[in-house]
Structure 1
């Protein structure tokens, strides 16, 4: 059996703009996309503000990079991360980068890495400025990665009525289904998901309290859903159709 190739990723974390409570969820999420061959975190480790991070670095084998704040009001950490990222990019050893920060200063870095043909995964809080979010191939909001408390979901699940009121979400889903559909109006779930990713780098069903795209789409009650058994292996495929086009 052939071994599936794993993407080689460089993970760069801005300690000043990231909470240590996300680390376990963050690394688990990154593992979905490839192998973290480099894991570095940047900040002024002489500062007590980063005490929470110091307690998890060894456990998760993350290399701390010391960066003193030379000038008050200037973020030297960002500069150090950008310089390191470019050095790693020029080695040609990586397939992609994971930039963990809510700071818009990394927008141009993300654009530059993508221009070199590598994929960029961004991770940051929902306050992250739109230019940085859009500059990444995929952007994951870290609120969905935080540790669960008392087994309750971190993100409250939105109701069908709330989802229907989200005009941007409804437009995104309908456009994706329409673009992926055949002449009869049915679209394969996987093709729909791929189209959504191309339209919106930050889209994630977990932002709405749902673990999977199919669950979110079903909750909107805007689409017909058809589960089909296909192939000799009797695998199940899910197809969608906009209810407005039902004949």
Structure 2
């Protein structure tokens, strides 16, 4: 491996101050640092405007270079044009591996597309109301509201614990809840697992799953759903088995529960008594040569059945339940 490939990516960070809050600066730059070195950090706006006071107070702290853009005509955004011109100059210099465009404005969509066409990576950062066109034009898009979410959650847990000791239960404050995993997101995750699965081994590398998702959903971020990492989100999906290799890389694969349920139906109908129950040991001995649960990380047959819908078990018996129609 060459030394060049070991060097961190050189990034140009260009911030639209008119469309970005100064409160996100620390978390924004920490997030950017995960992907490379911010070799250039420029922020654009009309610095004579009182609206940018928050940014003015932290320019030196974060080594941000302010670029003055006067609003020459009311209703026209000079900041956009100045940022775009600078971005193209930096692109043609050939010194940068990627660009971080910080704005919630769809006017930067053509710029993101042009930079990507030149073979450079584009990371977009904006609010949750950022138009889809700009989000999709980036290689990765991050919602500013998600940045630093893991740290905020830790702080909130600590604050909540302290408050619980001094306040009555009815004094609890309602927190902003993360978005729930709906059927569309579950379908996206399952399809991405399938696309990332190595046919030779049957396992999917979690890092590759993330890459597959980003190809179709640049704005996907597990933090939107309350998970610090994609791996945690995958663990909450039903029907997956996980393992790690010697380099501590995580893999997962789908557990073929469909095959198991058909086998359980067959076994139950073979061995059920007049009272409608089948002996657990008898069914287990029938199933194991045909579907070895130990290969999927289950230590016992009862543990396996506890993860299967529509199966009722007792100490020594089991039966299949008919799903209730919705």
TM-score by length of 2: 0.68
Residue among 232, 235, 240 paired with 2:252 = 240
Which protein, 1 or 2, shows the higher relative CO under an 8 Å CA cutoff with sep ≥ 6? 1
Kindly report which structure 2 residues correspond to 1:125-136, keeping only aligned pairs within 5 A, or say none. Answer: 125-136=127-138
Unaligned runs of 5+ in 2: 158-174, 260-326
1:108–1:227 Cα change, 3 Å: same
1:96–1:235 Cα change, 3 Å: closer
- 1:179 lines up with 2:195 in the alignment: yes
State the match for 2:241 in structure 1: 225
Task: Decide whether the 8 Å contact of 1:102 with 1:124 is kept in 2.
Answer: yes
State the match for 2:24 in structure 1: 22
SS in 1 for 2:8: coil
Distance in 2 (alpha carbons) for counterparts of 1:240 and 1:134: 27
Residue among 88, 91, 98 paired with 2:90 = 88
Residue among 200, 209, 215 paired with 1:198 = 215
User: Shift of the alpha carbon at 1:151?
Assistant: 1.3
Task: Decide whether the 8 Å contact of 2:241 with 2:254 is kept in 1.
Answer: no
Distance in 2 (alpha carbons) for counterparts of 1:182 and 1:109: 36
Distance in 1 (alpha carbons) for counterparts of 2:184 and 2:156: 27
Deviates more, 1:186-195 or 1:72-81: 186-195
Task: Decide whether the 8 Å contact of 1:155 with 1:207 is kept in 2.
Answer: no
Distance in 2 (alpha carbons) for counterparts of 1:205 and 1:134: 17
Unaligned runs of 5+ in 1: none
Q: Comparing both structures, which one devotes a greater share of its residues to strand?
A: 1
Task: Decide whether the 8 Å contact of 1:13 with 1:99 is kept in 2.
Answer: yes
User: Shift of the alpha carbon at 1:105?
Assistant: 0.2
User: Shift of the alpha carbon at 1:199?
Assistant: 1.9
1:227–1:157 Cα change, 3 Å: farther
- 1:32 lines up with 2:34 in the alignment: yes
SS in 1 for 2:155: coil
State the match for 1:151 in structure 2: 155
Distance in 2 (alpha carbons) for counterparts of 1:140 and 1:92: 25
Kindly report which structure 2 residues correspond to 1:5-20, keeping only aligned pairs within 5 A, or say none. Answer: 5-20=7-22
Deviations 1:64-86 (A, max 9, x none): 00001011111111011001111
Residue among 71, 74, 78 paired with 2:73 = 71
Distance in 2 (alpha carbons) for counterparts of 1:112 and 1:226: 39
1:246–1:149 Cα change, 3 Å: closer
Deviations 1:212-239 (A, max 9, x none): 11101112x32312224x3xxx433432
Task: Decide whether the 8 Å contact of 2:223 with 2:229 is kept in 1.
Answer: yes
Instruction: Tell me how large the CA RMSD over aligned residues is.
Output: 2.3
- 1:215 lines up with 2:215 in the alignment: no
Distance in 2 (alpha carbons) for counterparts of 1:78 and 1:11: 14
